[in-house]
């Protein structure tokens, strides 16, 4: 049987329900994309990596690598209509390659588990900060006061552990009940609300008189200072923030109606996600310069700058509470997407109920999360490779596993799947299709491998450069 014949074999029996509309799919993927990655991680790693040039590389990665990877994931997911592991082995066989492509799905299941193990801890910080905001703890505080609140809190493993536990419990409950229910409504409200609050914060930060400095830090590139390690981090962030490289978007794609435009849906998600990140970068760095803080201070950056701003703003207690509640929702809709590949896999592979699968997977993630809880207190001095346990889990997942997943996903969609299958999913041959195919076959996989090799110093610089 040729590849083409194999691909046309009996129509797929759908194992899943469907999204009610294209909008529902875009909302769900946007909900997974917009999260702590935009509001917490983007500003702090941008600060650690020197600003402007890092942001430019990040934006290139989002559009030239992230976008084609996302489209590939959605099209693979829709064609397979199963959990990522089953989809990859099914399509691998059907496209005349091998069922072993299912291993790629497993890589994603593991990445999701590891990411959520630390994501849940930071979401726990957010929970605690909602409480502290509502209690008025930040009102009128100086930069030193608010930094001390952060250090004291993260230094207390019990408090952080309890917050992490509460967040994981919330997650297990939602995931156990099925991915579709309630998610659409939550995202429909949460993303625009977060956007509006960001605008309010932006207005406030512009008033501080330091907006030009913040914007310059974020947008003026100085490539001389950029290292290959920072390029790797920027690329990792593109994968992380778009939720790609681990089959999560593939899992959502499985529910996508056949007639929906994959290009259009992916573009909407990418634009919404990038807008939120850039806005939060502008706000955070303006506040950093307005208060004489250090942009490279690390994971506490937003947890210091924003409470500081809220603490000085009229109605700050109210706005701070609303903001952190929205951030909890943003983190929550992402966490659901991080857990879904593992849960779907356990359900379909071991014939467990969703409740059982969510409880098993969730408990594992919860336990692993203590590696990150302790990274900020009792185990803060345990450092190896990239630093603390948290830093290593983050580096391994965002900067290695997700981009590596991206290589396999684009190679699969661009080289293993036959032209007919991919053109069929992407609405037929045309300029958009050709551009996607070029990016997926050549640019994305080659660029990712090149950055990997550069970052570990395996490719020498050309003479004189």
Q: Does 147 bind ligand TRP (CB under 6 A)?
A: no
C-alpha torsion 48→49→53→58, nearest 10: -90
- Cβ atoms of 451 and 228 closer than 8 Å: yes
- Cβ atoms of 19 and 255 closer than 8 Å: yes
Q: Looking at 27, 75, 76, 115, which residue binds ligand TRP (CB under 6 A)?
A: 115
Q: Looking at 36, 53, 256, 440, which residue binds ligand TRP (CB under 6 A)?
A: 36
State the binding string over 186-215 for ligand TRP (x if CB under 6 A, else -): ------------------------------
Q: Which segment (35-43, 372-380, 405-413, 429-437) binds ligand TRP by CB under 6 A?
A: 35-43
Q: Which segment (2-10, 11-19, 236-244, 447-455) binds ligand TRP by CB under 6 A?
A: 236-244
Residue 70 CB partners (closer than 8 Å, separation 6+): 242, 244, 249, 266, 269, 270
Site for ligand TRP in 405-464 (CB under 6 A): none
**Please, what is the end-to-end C-alpha distance for the chain in angstroms?**
51
Specify the DSSP class assigned to residue 101. Answer: G
Q: Is the Cβ of residue 34 or residue 226 nearer to ligand TRP in the bound state? A: 34
Q: Looking at 7, 24, 27, 32, which residue binds ligand TRP (CB under 6 A)?
A: 32
Q: Which residues pair with 387 in a beta bridge?
A: 384
What are the DSSP calls for 40-56, one per residue? IIHHHHHHHTTSHHHHH
Dihedral sign for Cα atoms in the order 146, 193, 257, 413: negative
204 membership: H or E segment, kind and range:
helix 183-207
Q: Is the Cβ of residue 332 or residue 436 nearer to ligand TRP in the bound state? A: 332
The angle at the Cα of 27, spanning 23 to 28, to the nearest 5 degrees, equals 120
State the binding string over 310-349 for ligand TRP (x if CB under 6 A, else -): ------------------------x--xx-----------
Q: Which residue stretches of 291-315 are H helix?
A: 301-312
Specify the DSSP class assigned to residue 233. Answer: H
Q: Does 33 bind ligand TRP (CB under 6 A)?
A: yes
Specify the DSSP class assigned to residue 373. Answer: H
Q: Is the Cβ of residue 270 or residue 373 nearer to ligand TRP in the bound state? A: 270
Q: Does 299 bind ligand TRP (CB under 6 A)?
A: no
Q: Looking at 7, 25, 37, 299, which residue binds ligand TRP (CB under 6 A)?
A: 37
Q: Does 230 bind ligand TRP (CB under 6 A)?
A: no
Q: Does 240 bind ligand TRP (CB under 6 A)?
A: yes
Length of the chain, in residues: 465
Q: Does 171 bind ligand TRP (CB under 6 A)?
A: no
Site for ligand TRP in 338-397 (CB under 6 A): 338
396 φψ region: left (φ > 0), alpha (ψ -120 to 50), beta (else): alpha
Residue closest to ligand TRP (Cβ): 37
CB atoms closer than 10 angstroms to residue 206:
16
Tokens of 383: 């450092």
Q: Which segment (33-41, 169-177, 192-200, 356-364) binds ligand TRP by CB under 6 A?
A: 33-41
Q: Is the Cβ of residue 239 or residue 452 nearer to ligand TRP in the bound state? A: 239
Q: Is the Cβ of residue 38 or residue 205 nearer to ligand TRP in the bound state? A: 38
| Cα 313 to Cα 198, 201, 445, distances in angstroms | 14, 9, 47
The CB-of-264 to ligand TRP minimum distance in angstroms stands at: 20
Q: Which segment (34-42, 72-80, 386-394, 428-436) binds ligand TRP by CB under 6 A?
A: 34-42
Total residues in contact with ligand TRP, by rule CB under 6 A: 15
Q: Does 243 bind ligand TRP (CB under 6 A)?
A: yes
Spatial distance between the Cα atoms of 46 and 44, rounded to a whole number of angstroms: 5
By the criterion CB under 6 A, which residues form the site for ligand TRP? 32-33, 35-38, 115, 240-241, 243, 246, 248, 334, 337-338
């Amino acid at each position: 049987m040729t590849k083409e014949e194999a691909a046309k074999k009996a129509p797929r029996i759908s194992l899943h329900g469907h999204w009610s509309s294209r909008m529902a799919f875009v909302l769900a993927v946007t909900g997974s994309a917009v999260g702590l990655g935009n509001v917490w991680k983007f500003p702090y790693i941008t600060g650690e990596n020197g600003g402007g040039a890092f942001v430019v590389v990040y934006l290139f990665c989002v559009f030239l690598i992230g976008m084609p990877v996302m489209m590939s994931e959605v099209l693979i997911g829709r064609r397979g209509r199963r959990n990522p592991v089953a989809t990859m082995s099914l399509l691998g066989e059907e496209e005349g390659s091998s069922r072993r492509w299912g291993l790629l799905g497993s890589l994603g299941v593991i990445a999701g588990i590891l990411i959520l193990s630390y994501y849940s801890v930071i979401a726990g910080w957010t929970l605690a900060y909602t409480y502290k905001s509502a209690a008025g703890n930040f009102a009128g505080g100086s930069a030193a006061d608010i930094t001390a609140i952060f250090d004291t809190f993260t230094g207390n493993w019990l408090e952080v552990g309890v917050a992490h536990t509460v967040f994981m419990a919330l997650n297990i409950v939602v995931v156990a009940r099925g991915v579709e229910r309630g998610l659409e409504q939550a995202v429909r409200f949460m993303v625009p609300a977060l956007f509006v609050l960001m605008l309010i914060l932006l207005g406030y930060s512009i008033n501080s008189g330091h907006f030009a400095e913040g914007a310059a830090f974020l947008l003026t590139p100085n490539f001389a200072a950029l290292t290959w390690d920072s390029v790797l981090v920027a690329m990792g962030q593109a994968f992380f923030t778009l939720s790609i490289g681990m089959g999560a978007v593939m899992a959502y794609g499985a529910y996508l109606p056949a007639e929906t435009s994959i290009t259009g849906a992916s573009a909407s998600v990418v634009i919404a996600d990038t807008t939120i990140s850039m806005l939060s970068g502008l706000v955070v760095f303006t506040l950093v310069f307005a208060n004489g803080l250090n942009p490279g201070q690390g994971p506490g950056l937003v947890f210091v700058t924003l409470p500081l701003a809220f603490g000085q703003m009229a109605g700050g207690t109210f706005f701070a509470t609303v903001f952190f509640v929205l951030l909890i929702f943003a983190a929550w809709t992402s966490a659901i997407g991080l857990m879904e590949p593992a849960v779907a896999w356990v359900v379909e592979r071991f014939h467990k109920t969703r409740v059982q699968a969510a409880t098993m997977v969730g408990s594992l993630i919860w336990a692993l999360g203590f590696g990150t809880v302790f990274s900020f207190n009792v185990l803060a001095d345990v450092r190896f490779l990239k630093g603390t346990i948290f830093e290593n889990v983050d580096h391994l997942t965002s900067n290695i596993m997700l981009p590596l997943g991206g290589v396999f996903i684009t190679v699969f969609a661009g080289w293993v799947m036959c032209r007919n299958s991919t053109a069929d999913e992407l609405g037929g041959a045309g300029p958009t299709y050709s551009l996607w195919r070029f990016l997926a076959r050549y640019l994305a996989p080659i660029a990712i491998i090149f950055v990997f090799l550069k970052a570990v110093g395996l490719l020498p610089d050309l003479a004189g450069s």
